[in-house]
């Protein structure tokens, strides 16, 4: 029997946010219908800059890889249904535009044949990494890190505990809640598989205090699982961002992940509950990841609920499934209300990291007031879960003082948005820090490039100087030889020998 425990740690900072989860959490997960088009971005979400494995006009089957596996290429993307490639072109995605593979769905929903993977192979770390990447498994919590790479690295470092993150701290979202309520046994089975794959002794499920149904379902699933002894549950307070990886680990264990390190450095590994279920599905069937659960919600959609969606489905289809827009809809957000991206149009496709779609009214989001000068009230620092002083970072971003920014821990910022929400001056702090990070990073790249160019330049200068000196020395030798008759005849002999060799290359030098 498992009983939910309380975590050992406290979160410094954070915010109590309105939950707004009830509207979408009330109904069971429904399956989204097969869309007309499936769209697969080839951008960062597919792991860098992948090469398409399909050509225009080519017929594809469900589960067929759409990008080519490559050395260092994290995770593949697969067609979620059968159809024909009708375009490989830039399309709108969350955060702008990216080249996409577009499949016109044929409606037959045919799939490649498949068989469960040979579990024995997964004991080898490189194979584990490669197989899970080939199956398209990446974190479903938001960051989208390659699951195989995470598990393989953690196995080598050795773990004390695996943390399964079901603390859905973002307002509006309820996909992990519904997942646990309806499919807790899959999450538990996936978790046990993760334990086996990493050699980790125990797993802890982390839930927020406000999801009692999920907790009950999870307790039942753990009781009925093959190894309840290694599984436990910890509840954490419903404070945003308790579900952030580093915050979650601190809340549960009381320990802090080093700012420059990763959770396995202190013996922990964190995976999203959805990722555990996805791993189980792969091990059970051998099918790659082509679906996920998406919360479709907000005051601007007729019937908020969670949908089981094929990756690549345009958001417009999800909205249609949920009864369409309400007339008051004003903004469309992909992801959560705190960290998601507002998109201009609803042709944007669902990707692995799309946990939510919020069609929001202007009233529920409110309008950000005109930004005025920072009055140094320090509320942002009081609420920063990363222990930063945003008010000082803000001044440093204004001065573009990269040294100060680094000293103040700019790169420890998790972009949670808490500082924005408490700022009485309405300064878009999180956006400023995002921009500053990019600028500092680009400058570092520039510096590195400049350093290399300088090194190259210096090497060339040295080479030229050396060559000049050598030429000078040779000339000097020859001049001296011309003055010295003995040396002169030797030089002439040398010239003759060389000339002979050139006219008759077959003859050996002797």
Partner 1 sequence: MRFETTPAPHLSVQASVSRLMRRVLWALLPAAAAHLWFFGPGLAFNITVAVVTALAAEALMLRLRGRPIRPGLADGSAVLAAVLLAFALPPLTPWWITATGSAFAMVVAKHLYGGLGYNVFNPAMAGYAVVLVSFPGQLALWSLAAPGGLAPPALDPAQTLAFTLTGRLPEQVTLDAITQATPLDALRSGLAQLQTLSEIRAAAPFGGPGEQAWLWINGLIALGGLWLLWTRAIRWHIPVAMLATLALLSAIAAAIDGDRFASPVLQLFSGAALIGAFFIATDPVSAATTRVGRLLYGSGIGALVFAIRSWGGYPDGVAFAVLLMNLTVPLLDRHTRSRPFGT
Region 402-421 residues binding partner 1, contact defined as CB under 8 A = 408-409, 412, 415-417, 420-421
Q: Is residue 322 involved in binding partner 1 (CB under 8 A)?
A: no
Q: How far apart are CA 332 and CA 341, in angstroms?
A: 8
Nearer to partner 1, 74 or 335 (CB): 335
Q: Does 431 bind partner 1 (CB under 8 A)?
A: yes
Pairing of strands 59-60, 231-236: unpaired
By CB under 8 A, the residues from 239 to 258 that bind partner 1 are 246, 250, 256-258
Q: Which of 135, 385, 396, 436 is in the footprint of partner 1 by CB under 8 A?
A: 385
By beta-carbon proximity to partner 1, the closer residue of 76 and 416 is 416
- Pick one of 31, 382, 446, 484: the residue that binds partner 1 (CB under 8 A): 382
Among the listed ranges 59-67, 183-191, 380-388, 478-486, the one in contact with partner 1 (CB under 8 A) is 380-388
- From 413, 417, 415, 394, select the one nearest 404 (Cα to Cα): 394
Name the CA radius of gyration of the chain, rounded: 30
Q: Which two tokens stand for residue 409?
A: 């821990």
Distance CA 270, CA 268 (A): 7
Question: C-alpha dihedral over 232, 238, 240, 246, to 10 degrees?
Answer: -20
Verify binding: residue 44, partner 1, rule CB under 8 A. Answer: no
Residues 475-504 that bind partner 1 (CB under 8 A): none
**Least gap, CB of 77 to partner 1 (angstroms):** 25
Taking CB under 8 A as the criterion, which residues in 171-190 touch partner 1? 171
Q: Which of 234, 388, 405, 436 binds partner 1 (CB under 8 A)?
A: 388
Kindly indicate which of the ranges 31-39, 149-157, 385-393, 462-470 contains the residues binding partner 1, using the contact rule CB under 8 A.
Answer: 385-393
**Is residue 135 within 8 Å of residue 284, measured between CB atoms?**
no
Helices (H), 166-242: 175-198, 212-223
Q: Which stretch binds partner 1 (CB under 8 A): 99-107, 130-138, 276-284, 339-347?
A: 339-347
Nearest to 36 by CA among 67, 80, 77, 66: 80
SS3 for 439? helix
| C-alpha 233, offset from chain centre | 26
Contact 76, 69 (CB under 8 A): yes
Q: With binding defined as CB under 8 A, does residue 438 bind partner 1?
A: no
Interface pick for partner 1 out of 286, 325, 401, 481 (rule CB under 8 A): 325
Task: Kindly determine how many residues on this chain lie close enough to bind partner 1 according to the rule CB under 8 A.
Answer: 71
Convert residues 187-226 into a mask of x (bound to partner 1 by CB under 8 A) and - (unbound): ----------------------------------------
Q: Quote the CA–CA distance of 88 and 99 in Å, as a whole number.
A: 7
First to last CA, the chain: 91
Q: Which residues contact 329 (CB under 8 A, 6 or more apart)?
A: 298, 299, 300, 301, 359, 360, 361
- Distance in Å, CB of 254 to partner 1, minimum: 13
In the complex, the smallest distance separating the C-beta of residue 80 from partner 1, rounded to whole angstroms, is 24
Give the range of 122-130, 330-338, 450-458, 496-504 binding partner 1 by CB under 8 A. Answer: 330-338
For partner 1, give the closer residue by CB, 286 or 411.
411
User: Exposure string (b/e) for 242-278, b if CB count within 10 Å is 16 or more?
Assistant: bbbbbbbbbbbbeeebeeeebbbebbbbbbbbbbbbb
Binding partner 1 (rule: CB under 8 A), the pick from 119, 345, 455, 499 is 345
Reduced to 3 states (helix: H, G, I; strand: E, B; else coil), residue 141 is coil
Is residue 236 at the binding interface for partner 1, with CB under 8 A as the rule?
A: no
Among residues 164, 337, 405, 436, the one that binds partner 1 under rule CB under 8 A: 337
Query: What's the CA gap between 130 and 146, in Å, rounded?
Result: 10
Question: DSSP class of residue 313?
Answer: -
Q: Which of 127, 134, 196, 330 binds partner 1 (CB under 8 A)?
A: 330
Quote the DSSP letter at residue 65. Answer: B
Per-position x/- string for 143-172, each x denoting binding to partner 1 as judged by CB under 8 A, each - no binding: ----------------------------x-
Q: Closest distance between partner 1 and the C-beta of residue 26, in Å?
A: 22
């Amino acid at each position: 029997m498992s009983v939910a425990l309380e975590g050992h740690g406290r979160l410094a900072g954070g915010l109590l946010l309105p939950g707004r989860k009830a509207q979408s959490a009330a109904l069971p997960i429904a399956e989204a219908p097969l869309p007309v088009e499936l769209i697969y971005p080839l951008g960062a979400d597919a792991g860098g800059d992948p090469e398409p494995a399909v050509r225009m006009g080519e017929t594809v089957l469900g589960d067929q890889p759409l990008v080519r596996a490559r050395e260092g290429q994290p995770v593949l993307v697969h067609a979620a249904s059968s159809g024909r490639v009708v375009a490989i072109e830039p399309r709108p995605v969350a955060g702008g535009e990216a080249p996409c593979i577009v499949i016109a769905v044929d409606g037959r929903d045919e799939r490649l044949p498949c068989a469960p993977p040979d579990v024995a192979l997964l004991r080898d770390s490189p194979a584990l990494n490669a197989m899970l990447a080939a199956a398209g498994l990446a974190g479903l919590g938001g960051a989208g890190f390659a699951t195989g790479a995470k598990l393989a690295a953690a196995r080598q470092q050795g773990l004390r505990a695996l943390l399964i993150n079901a603390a859905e701290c973002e307002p509006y979202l309820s996909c992990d809640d519904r997942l646990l309520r309806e499919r807790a046994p899959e999450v538990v089975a996936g978790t046990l598989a993760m334990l086996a794959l990493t050699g980790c002794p125990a797993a802890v499920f982390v839930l927020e205090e406000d999801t009692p149904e999920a907790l009950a379902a999870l307790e039942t699933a753990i009781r009925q699982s093959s190894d309840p002894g290694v599984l436990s549950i910890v509840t954490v307070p419903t404070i945003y961002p308790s579900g952030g990886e580093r915050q979650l680990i601190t809340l549960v264990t009381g320990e802090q992940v080093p700012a420059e390190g990763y959770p396995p450095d202190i013996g922990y590994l964190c995976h999203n509950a959805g990722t555990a279920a996805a791993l189980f599905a792969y091990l059970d069937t051998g099918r790659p990841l082509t679906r996920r659960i998406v919360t479709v919600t907000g005051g601007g959609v007729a019937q908020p609920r969670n949908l089981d969606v094929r990756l690549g489905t345009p958001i417009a289809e999800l909205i249609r499934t949920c009864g369409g827009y309400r007339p008051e809809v004003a903004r469309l957000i992909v992801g959560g209300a705190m960290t998601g991206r507002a998109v201009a149009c609803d042709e944007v496709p669902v990707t692995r990291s799309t946990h939510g779609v919020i069609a929001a009214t202007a009233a529920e989001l409110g309008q950000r007031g005109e930004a005025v000068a920072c009055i140094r009230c320090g509320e942002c620092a009081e609420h920063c879960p990363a222990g930063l002083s945003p008010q000082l970072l803000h001044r440093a971003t204004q001065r573009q003082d990269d040294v100060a920014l680094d000293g103040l821990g700019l790169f420890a910022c998790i972009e949670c948005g808490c500082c924005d929400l408490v700022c009485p001056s309405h300064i878009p702090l999180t956006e400023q820090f995002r921009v500053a990070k990019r600028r500092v990073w680009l400058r570092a790249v520039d510096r590195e490039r400049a350093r290399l160019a300088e090194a190259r330049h210096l090497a060339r200068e040295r080479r030229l100087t050396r060559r000049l000196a050598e030429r000078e020395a040779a000339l000097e030798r020859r001049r001296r030889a011309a003055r010295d008759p003995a040396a002169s005849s030797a030089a002439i002999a040398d010239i003759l020998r060389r000339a002979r060799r050139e006219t008759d290359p077959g003859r050996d030098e002797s």
